[in-house]
Amino acid sequence: MKKILGYIITYKFSAFIALLLMFIELVVELVQPIVMATIIDEGIVNGDMRTIITWGSVLLALTIVAFIAGISSSFFAANVSQGIGHDVRRDLFEHIQFLSTQKIQKFSTSSLSTRMTNDVTQIQGFIFMAMRIMLRAPLFVVGGVVMAFTVNVNLALILLVAVPILFIIMFWIMIQGVKLFQRVQKKLDSLNSIFRENLLGIRLIKSYNRSEHENQRFNASNMSLMDDNKQALRLMEITMPVVMLGMNIAMVLIIWFGSIEISVGGAQTGEIVAIINYATRIMGSFGVFSFLIMNYSRGKASASRISEVLASPVEEAKNSESKVMSNQSEIQFDQVNYRYPGSRVNALSDLSFRVKVGDTIGIMGETGSGKSTLLKLIPRLYPVTSGRILVDGVPIDTLDSQALRKEMAMVPQESQLFSGTVFENIAWGNNNASLQEIIQAATDANLHPYIMSLPNQYETIIGQRGVNFSGGQKQRINLARAFVRNPSILLLDDSTSALDAKTEASVLNSIKSKSCTTFIVSEKISSVIEADKILLLDHGKLIDQGSHDYLLKTNTVYKEIFKSQQQQGSEL
Ligand SMILES: Nc1ncnc2c1ncn2[C@@H]1O[C@H](COP(=O)(O)OP(=O)(O)OP(=O)(O)O)[C@@H](O)[C@H]1O
């Protein structure tokens, strides 16, 4: 919460004015019962019309002041809460951009999106409430008791006993509430995660007739969220009856002792009315406590979830002074091991190999053998568990990650498109690319003729996640995006799997004509047949390396794969 409240500094002026106006409103409300007592005791009881009119006018003026102060305070409080919400969202977004892939995986994308939306909204609500009533309610309770003492000490003593007891009960409820609302927030995360998976996999769900199963999964999570929410709200709901009970007992006592005091001349009617007035208003302030507790509990839970993200260290630029990467880079893996966090086995074990500048490297192996993992280690998407990866002799963990990645382009296994036009999606790889360069990249990806056949050509809007493009078209947009970057290291993770043989051959030819060092992950020998070197992986270990001809002659596993793929090819 401290971290989030730190954001208030930017809005200190608005926050100060909001609190000042709230304070004026509070003082006016505290003075009003005394004015009423004066009107009763000096005006009504004595039949003094002048006193009634004078103090009645004062009362009216005070009411108008409180009204204006209240509205203006809300205006400034909204400024502060909305401003802070905006700043927190901005910082969260920026921070998430620089979190390591492992950290993002740990938080999970659905949790991050709940934090970015729902949690920030809770914080906004909390800050607004904090400035409007969170301070005002307890201040009024304390101020009300103090003012009651100035009216009649004996009767005020009743309030002095009742109020602390209620405070303690409220404090206990608040502590329980924070725990419960934290649980609610976690359940909301799970619900969001199921919902997200459903939206992404809607076609698969329909084609497998699994809607009923998914409904059940969602309903179970929804039910669990409802149960926890109910439990939290039930706790909140008991606050009002407890307050009513405590304060009504106090009021009965005030009236009872008050009537005795009046009969012995120790108090006047107006004083009793004023103290009852304070008691009623204190009860009102306590009444909003349940709302405040709920707001505070949710706000605190949300603040700690947001702070957790903001406090996660970003990928460090360990050595920003380090040498800038040359645009032709030799790569060396030196006894590299990698184990995913939480996994019991290495995804990659004792990997050592060297890649010459401009070479094309094929990476082959059965599914799950560690091909994609190897590729992701090169731009340091995951830091190695042990061993070293060197680019031009420099360990990559000593290089600034931005500088390291500037020279690389990666085409992921799963095509990724952004909302916008085809042009924007390709240019995303290189902001400074000219139209000519974009067209060249699309041509190299064997995509230009298709784009030109579209009604709006390069200005064609790509639907959400590229729904209006085929798998192969999406892959080629991703390839064009990588080409336009003109990288010195090109990383292709099974990026031609959806292309037909002719298109793939044409794309591979374009890649061959480029001078970059290229890594091609594939399960198809045809994709890597012309590579300078093929790395053969098995269960994360490098079992052999060499050219296609060399492996075909010397490696029986490779020979088997080749034979089976040849057979499949001739059967097709
Ligand atoms: N994000 C992850 N978290 C934990 N384990 C992972 C993660 N990604 C991959 N793994 C595990 O690491 C191993 C290697 O996975 P990797 O994706 O590198 O294999 P691959 O050879 O590229 O497979 P495929 O050909 O099916 O894409 C697998 O056993 C996989 O379960």
Distance CA 46, CA 49 (A): 9
Nearest to 500 by CA among 426, 408, 566, 572: 572
CA atoms within a 13 Å half-sphere pointing along the CA-CB vector of 547: 5
Distance from residue 370's CA to the centre of ligand 1 (Å): 6
Q: Are residues 69 and 106 in the same domain?
A: yes
CATH code of the domain covering residue 43: 1.20.1560.10
Q: Is the pLDDT of residue 464 over 70?
A: no
Tell me the average pLDDT across 152-173: 87
Q: Are residues 459 and 386 in the same domain?
A: no
Minimal-distance CA residue to ligand 1 atom 28: 368
Q: Is residue 319 part of a domain?
A: no
Q: Is the pLDDT of residue 320 over 70?
A: no
Q: Are residues 481 and 515 in the same domain?
A: no
Q: Model pTM?
A: 0.69
Distance CA 515, CA 510 (A): 10
Ligand 1 pocket, 370 CB below 6 A? yes
- What is the CA 367 to chain-centroid distance, rounded? 33
Q: Is residue 366 part of a domain?
A: yes
Question: Relative to the CA of 374, which ligand 1 atom is closest?
Answer: 18
Ligand 1 pocket, 369 CB below 6 A? yes
Between these two residues, 320 and 150, which has the higher pLDDT value?
Answer: 150
Q: Is residue 318 part of a domain?
A: no
Q: Is residue 61 part of a domain?
A: yes
> What is the distance in angstroms between the CA of the first residue and the CA of the last residue of the chain?
63
Of 440, 460, 486, the one marking the end of a domain is: 486
Q: Are residues 424 and 392 in the same domain?
A: no
Q: Are residues 438 and 295 in the same domain?
A: no
Q: Are residues 379 and 518 in the same domain?
A: yes
CA angle (561, 563, 566) in 5-degree steps: 105
Element (H, E) at 247: helix 239-263
CATH code of the domain covering residue 493: 3.40.50.300
Question: Relative to the CA of 413, which ligand 1 atom is closest?
Answer: 27
Of 258, 285, 311, the one marking the end of a domain is: 311
Q: Is residue 462 part of a domain?
A: yes
Tell me the average pLDDT across 541-557: 89
Distance from residue 347's CA to the centre of ligand 1 (Å): 7
Question: Which residues form the domain of 462?
Answer: 416-486
pLDDT of residue 465: 67
Minimal-distance CA residue to ligand 1 atom 5: 340
Q: Is residue 297 part of a domain?
A: yes
Q: Are residues 401 and 447 in the same domain?
A: no
Distance CA 56, CA 1 (A): 45
- Summarised one tens digit per residue, pLDDT across range 421-431 is 889 999 988 88
Distance CA 63, CA 239 (A): 29
Q: Are residues 561 and 421 in the same domain?
A: no
Q: Are residues 346 and 494 in the same domain?
A: yes
Q: Is residue 371 part of a domain?
A: yes
Beta bridge partners of 519: 361, 491
Distance CA 178, CA 173 (A): 9
Question: How far are the Cα atoms of 58, 67, 69, 75, 356 from residue 63, in angstroms, in the given order?
Answer: 9, 6, 10, 19, 83
Q: Is residue 31 part of a domain?
A: yes
pLDDT of residue 60: 93
Question: How far are the Cα atoms of 263, 350, 387, 489, 522 from residue 339, in angstroms, in the given order?
Answer: 85, 11, 12, 24, 22
In the chain, the number of structural domains is: 3
Q: In this structure, are residues 238 and 246 in contact, taking their beta carbons and an 8 Å threshold?
A: no
Question: Relative to the CA of 376, which ligand 1 atom is closest?
Answer: 18
pLDDT of residue 483: 92
Tell me the average pLDDT across 448-461: 88
Q: Is the pLDDT of residue 329 over 80?
A: no
Of 311, 339, 355, the one marking the end of a domain is: 311
What ipTM was predicted for this assembly? Answer: 0.95
